[in-house]
Amino acid sequence: MSKRIVYMMMCLLKGVFLFSQSASCIKFSPSFGSEKLSADSVYYLNVSDSIQITSLRFYVSNMELLDNNKSVWIDSNPFHLIDAFNEKTLSVIVPSNISYSKLKFNLGIDSTTNVSGAMGGDLDPTKGMYWTWQSGYINFKLEGTSNISKTRHNEFQFHLGGYQHPFNSLQTVFIEITSKSTIEINIDLLQIFQQINLAQQHHIMSPGQEAMDFSEKVIQSLSIKK
């Protein structure tokens, strides 16, 4: 192997190392109270009410890092489909060589994208997160079973979306940042279920006031994990 090739390989490896040292990570960590969310686990609201989660998927879009309320970084990939049971989807790489104090993102898909019709990548309809051209994308999908859900097989399904006035369920999130290494965002499903009664509310499958109200409960369940 010539000295020139060896030198080029060393430069390439050095570049990879420098890149890994200059990148941070935003990680979404779904949980049920103090427990990490697992598809195989049964969780309890109390001694008798049990819940099992079979699906938790949602869109995070238009991520930005802000410093003094000014944008210092905009995600080149505007749309991320987060799947609680697919580890590869839970992290987003961001640069660490910039100064920032706040993270901004949308939970869901904006109206402009919705009226553009079905797209590819994470927005591909085959991902199972698209209703129709009229209703648009599903921003947030939560499915499972509960012994208190009065449905066939005790199932519950919450498909939240809607982009047309007055039922636009898109939520914009601002989070203060203290760590510059890994920004871990916890989404605590226990907090969501504590605000509803699964015996009475177990299905949301279309845009409307109910979807908007539930979307606000989702936002309230988000926090920085310390």
Read off the pLDDT of residues 119-157 as tens digits, 9 standing for 90 and up.
Answer: 899 999 999 999 998 899 999 999 999 999 999 899 999
Predicted pLDDT at 178: 77
Predicted pLDDT at 16: 35
CB 173 within 8 A of CB 222: yes
Domain ranges of the chain: 24-224
pLDDT less than 50: residues of the chain: 3-22
Predicted pLDDT at 46: 87
Predicted pLDDT at 177: 87
CA distance to 22, 72, 78, 106, 164, per residue, from 63 (Å): 18, 11, 7, 7, 22
Element containing residue 184 per DSSP (H, E): strand 182-188
Beta strands in 15-170 (DSSP E): 23-32, 35-36, 43-44, 50-67, 70-74, 79-83, 91-95, 102-107, 138-146, 155-161
Q: How many Å apart are CA 148 and CA 72, to the nearest integer? A: 47
Predicted pLDDT at 14: 37
Predicted pLDDT at 1: 52
Q: What pTM does this model have?
A: 0.88
Tell me the H-state helices in the chain.
Answer: 3-21, 111-114, 189-193, 209-220
β-strand partners of 25? 93, 182
Tell me the H-state helices in 70-188.
Answer: 111-114
